[in-house]
Structure 1
Amino acid sequence: MSNSINDRINRLRSRRSGLDRTSVITMDAKNFIVNHSLTQEAWERRAKDKPNTTFALGAMQEVDPIYTRISLETADRVSNQLTKRMSGNMEFELQGSVPLNVHIRGVSDVDVLALEADFHTYDTRGAISRSGQYNSPTTRTSVGVLTARRAEISRVLREAFPAATVDTSSSKAIKLLGGSLARPVDVVPSHWHDTIEYQASRQKHDRAVTILDSHKIITLENWPFLHIKKVRERCESTGGGLRKSIRLCKNLKAELEAEGRSVTISSFDIASIMYHANMASLTVGSLYELAILAEAQRHLDYLWNHKEEARRLIVPDGSRFIFDAEEKFTGLLQLSVAMDNLLREVAKEQNYLLSLSEKPLLDVSREAVIRSAVL
């Protein structure tokens, strides 16, 4: 697939409008997307005759709130059907890119945690446990409870959405798509785990979630709400710059994959990487957005050239190191090189003298981009 900048802009438009995924949604949603895509977005008009700058700016922007609202409404619709049809009590929460507003697709999968309300585990070292406030121990196990729920959720989704596809091939999420659904929805069978921190604070962000790996028949603990809280708070301190840097990296990864290259680093890890960028530099992006491109390039380049420091970086929820597998450095390199190239091309568009050089120095390119005021 072509990697010309005009093709990248067209694919960016397609991702943002949802035209790239019309095969997995209802006809009504498809018609809306086709009609809505005819309207030009603001970023497309901000840097005339500077296509690389146009792409960089567009890649940072949030998805149209109308699309996000439809995603949230679709998640609610699925949750409501599960509430009505399933045995016992369930709770439903959203996790992932959509509630954090770092998703890059108009038609984005929505992650729904289907939480068993009548079963949870807890750390026995916590204050609530030590005070004896939990119920008596049960013979039920996390694996047993979640395996049964997974089977029931799969069955109920097929009954509630007979025209949709229920894909159970993933070890963690049950994917629901097509039929009458305006968006694909991933349903994750899970239950709460009350950590030491949660037992002290009673705050949802300190509460862990236990999910099932149905292939390995084991459970895993995640902290999705702590991740959302940490990234959201840091983003607010930058005037939105952190989210923009995450979207920029994710869109660039999507472009590399569209061009046939596999990028061995996840969206979660990309968010975690940018969480450790220079927040002061990202804050400059609230006035001059191209400063976000400059900081994203600097940060990725720095981590590649200082791997021991990169290895010490921890994900925002504190659960693990970001670079907990060596192959992630391959993904980092691919993303870093692509960001280098984008920075240089944008710098050439902003500075005539740099346009005379085939490969201007990165430091010089960053300086040219930071000083650029694209309104």
Structure 2
Amino acid sequence: MAKRKDYQVRLQNLRSRRYDVALSRAVVTESFSKEARASVKYVYEAMEPIGASYTNKSYDEAKRVQAQIDTLPIAFQFDYQGSVPLNTHIKLHSDLDILVVRTIANLKSGFTADQLTSTINLLKDARTNIEAKLRSAYPTATVDASGCKCLNISGGSLSRSFDIIMCSWYDNYAYQQSGLKQHREIWLHNKCKFGEFDNPFSHMHQVNLKDTRVGGGYKRIIRLLKTLRSDAAPQIKLSSFLITSVMYHMADAEYSQTNYSVAAARRMSMLVNTRNHLDKVVTNQAYRRGLSSPDNSEKLFDENDATLVTELRKLRQELDDILMDLAEEVESTSYYQKTFSNPSEAFLALSKASVIYG
């Protein structure tokens, strides 16, 4: 029975992303039956988080870079954003976004035009100085200053790649009243055009809250979809932010609120629910254009969303193919090979999945 996807190749891709040179092996959990088929191993392993020791290594490397920046006669604070602090990254050696906050450039609610101009100039000056410092401190590394919002440093003695993002704190009214990090915003420096306000901490806070509510199922699905995005040929062009935001809107009850020690049939149900949610986003324009980011700060789609819809349709097809392959394994025997012509038939079969996925 021909599979729609080559799962041996995909497992190799996954192991390559999780390969530890020092150990000379891929770091995978194999939290499923040793007799499980390649398709099952691929799907389940794609959901698993990167080990904490490797994530901590990313932060250790970041602190090396931060220590060099801190030698400048300028006051900075540091923070992080993106997939690594969210624990939704899928590579052992994941890139990390470092927020470099120039504290003298801080803004508060009610700031004046002159104060904003001063902040912009201070951040521009800081970026210039940081670029020079990184080039001198890491002469064998590559420092890419072409990005509008960040510098990137990689290679040389560094085992990770880092985006260095210049910003200042913006203490809005909500943060001044609560003191909670999720209410604090930043002003992002942009060398190509006017900067902008952003609140990465609110986004991360909402993602973490939902994942806790659903017992970890939300982040498992994010990791799976990011893996499918990376392994698709040609690669699917969707940002991690969009995948995370779209799946934020799948109802809590649609996620498996259990861990991997519980019946695997519930995990299959979560995959089917994910596929159906993506289908709703693709086919229901009114629903799609009503979706916003997890912190409700921006709309995800507008009247110019055709390209994004095309890419989401590809992601949905990836899930369709995988679910039909899984369902055919459930229904087939050594004497009888079951095939499905459409996803809906396969979904019914998956509802009966049990021992094979244990």
Same fold, TM-score > 0.5, yes or no? yes
Residue equivalent to 1:274: 247
Residue equivalent to 1:265: 238
Whichever residue aligns with residue 239 of structure 1, its letter is G
Three-state SS of the structure 2 residue aligned to 1:322 is coil
The 3 A distance-change label for structure 1 pair 70 and 158 is: same
In the aligned structure 1, how far is the partner of 2:168 from the partner of 2:120? 11
TM superposition shift of 1:3: 5.8
In the aligned structure 1, how far is the partner of 2:51 from the partner of 2:204? 20
The 3 A distance-change label for structure 1 pair 11 and 136 is: closer
Tell me the alpha carbon deviations over residues 231-262 of structure 1, each in whole angstroms, 9 at most, x when there is no partner. Answer: 00100111110000000110000012xx234x
Residue equivalent to 1:305: 283
In the aligned structure 2, how far is the partner of 1:40 from the partner of 1:197? 43
Residue equivalent to 1:366: 347
1:220 aligns with 2:196: yes
Residue equivalent to 2:44: 57
Tell me the alpha carbon deviations over residues 139-197 of structure 1, each in whole angstroms, 9 at most, x when there is no partner. Answer: 74333222111111111111222221111111112111111112111110111112232
In the aligned structure 2, how far is the partner of 1:231 from the partner of 1:91? 24
The 3 A distance-change label for structure 1 pair 36 and 372 is: farther
Is the contact made by 1:209 and 1:222 (CA closer than 8 Å) also made in structure 2? yes
In the aligned structure 2, how far is the partner of 1:202 from the partner of 1:40? 39
The 3 A distance-change label for structure 1 pair 45 and 87 is: same
TM-score (norm 2): 0.89
The 3 A distance-change label for structure 1 pair 199 and 163 is: same
Residue equivalent to 2:77: 91
Cα RMSD, aligned residues only: 2.4
In the aligned structure 2, how far is the partner of 1:249 from the partner of 1:121? 37
Extract unaligned runs of 5+ from structure 1: 18-32, 130-134
Q: Which has the higher helix share?
A: 1
Three-state SS of the structure 2 residue aligned to 1:103 is coil
In the aligned structure 2, how far is the partner of 1:86 from the partner of 1:371? 62
Is the contact made by 1:205 and 1:226 (CA closer than 8 Å) also made in structure 2? yes
Residue equivalent to 1:24: none
Paired residues, number? 344
Whichever residue aligns with residue 230 of structure 1, its letter is Q
Residue equivalent to 1:196: 173
1:292 aligns with 2:270: yes
The 3 A distance-change label for structure 1 pair 213 and 309 is: same
The 3 A distance-change label for structure 1 pair 10 and 147 is: same
The 3 A distance-change label for structure 1 pair 71 and 367 is: farther
TM superposition shift of 1:198: 1.6
Residue equivalent to 2:10: 8
Identity %: 28
Extract unaligned runs of 5+ from structure 2: none
